[in-house]
Chain A
């Protein structure tokens, strides 16, 4: 399914928090990959769902050696851990030395992410530039998202970075990801956000603006593992829903997803026949017409698939 890569041009604009927020609010199954070029943060910030600390030795560290060969999609899921709240996270590497040391393997990891069928992949690469060893991750993505703050340095560096990266984003298979920005700013700064967005989209043609994420300290503490009361009411989450919906809407969903699950979902039984779920009413390769799922709220509930 879809792959998106988040990065920040300079400083610490909040890429990891944005990536965690996106993974938490994502309307479809998703896996967050903590590929921060300076070393993974998520395993240090959040505990596992059962309350224990995340295992920092399991994640990209164990996954990347397997990427010497072609990686199957389900292998990625085996190296993910469930954090508090339910997000699946592939823990990051310890530092930039390791990130560079596994240089050539980022490409095969990127291909593995592309071929994952049952979940979207949200990759947090922290910093990215046109000579980054992690560039293949961006090249293989459906969407590359630049997170920036509403500051002079943030805006200008982001703009220059996007401009410099644009010619390098074409992957070896000829695809090019969409490029977008998300601006993090205080709640009242809509006008400044709009002007910043238009200056960047004007300077770097093809860049899309995905929205304004409110700078919210209380909400931010949520993703640092600190207790926050009524998190869904924080400004960060409320503004984040709109942005994440826009981002998720722009990421294509593969037309044919047939997902065998342990027990078929009974609501997908039509006329006594269990059907597969898919989008846009297309035919599956067997030539049998399939229909949308009855329940509109659950876009991806799979019945027993047709092989």
Chain B
């Protein structure tokens, strides 16, 4: 039989040893493969970035001890730690000199990372305030001495010895909350404590009268208390 036949267009070509005509649907694969590669790249880049950031540490200033609000900063108040800064307003160690002699705006616990917003160049007595001084005997103050920056309450007490009396009931509050500016010994050898406080102009008269009569006693308030009048911290 040597019939030749016209080969119709539809008939398949030979598969050959390596090829097959298996019904595969491969259209999904390239998308998944591309997505997988993309995820791998993103993950690798993210990890590399994290490692880079974690290694990028600088020396910054931390508080070596508790700092009171309003306290003037000295070199002993600073110590150094290594951190990754991430654009935070921390103070690098080399800038320490800029902050010596400034005043603390808030009370800073020991070990806090110092921020340039915590310090003020100067504090100034406000227009409506006066600094009034007094000398307190040991009975008129708490056992642990007050320090600059504390907020205290002044009470009227009876006179300890004969002398002019100031009008008012014993135990009255002279001023509710005032900021202590300076503290020092009254005179060498004596137990008196000289304290300067910032009071409003209106109340200064009462305070001066009571303090000069020795009828002022002082009680320290909790650190966060806001005094009626405060230093200008600009």
Contacts and interface: CB of A to CB of B under 8 A. Distances in A.
B88 interface: no
Chain A binding site: helix, strand, loop or mixed by DSSP? loop
B24 A85 contact: yes
A166 to B, nearest CB: 28
Contacts of B11: 29, 31, 77, 80, 88, 118-119
Nearest to A25: B20
A50 to B, nearest CB: 13
Interface in A274-299: 284-285, 297-299
B17 A27 contact: yes
Interface in A65-119: 72-74, 77-78, 80, 82-88, 115-119
A135 interface: no
Contacts of B6: 74, 260
Contacts, number: 109
A30 B21 CA distance: 11
B15 interface: yes
Contact of B8 (A78, A237, A299, A302): A78
Contact of A24 (B3, B4, B10, B22): B22
Contacts of A225: 23
Given A88-B10, A117-B4, A299-B14, 12 more contacts: A29-B11, A30-B12, A74-B5, A74-B7, A77-B8, A86-B21, A118-B11, A119-B12, A227-B28, A229-B29, A259-B7, A298-B16
Interface of A: 20, 23-31, 46, 72-74, 77-78, 80, 82-88, 115-119, 222-223, 225, 227-229, 231-232, 237, 254, 256, 258-261, 284-285, 297-302, 305, 307
Interface of B: 1-8, 10-17, 20-25, 28-29
27 contacts: A24-B20, A24-B23, A25-B21, A26-B15, A28-B15, A29-B11, A31-B11, A72-B5, A77-B8, A84-B24, A86-B12, A87-B12, A87-B23, A116-B5, A222-B24, A223-B23, A228-B24, A232-B20, A237-B20, A254-B1, A256-B2, A258-B2, A259-B4, A259-B7, A261-B7, A285-B2, A298-B16
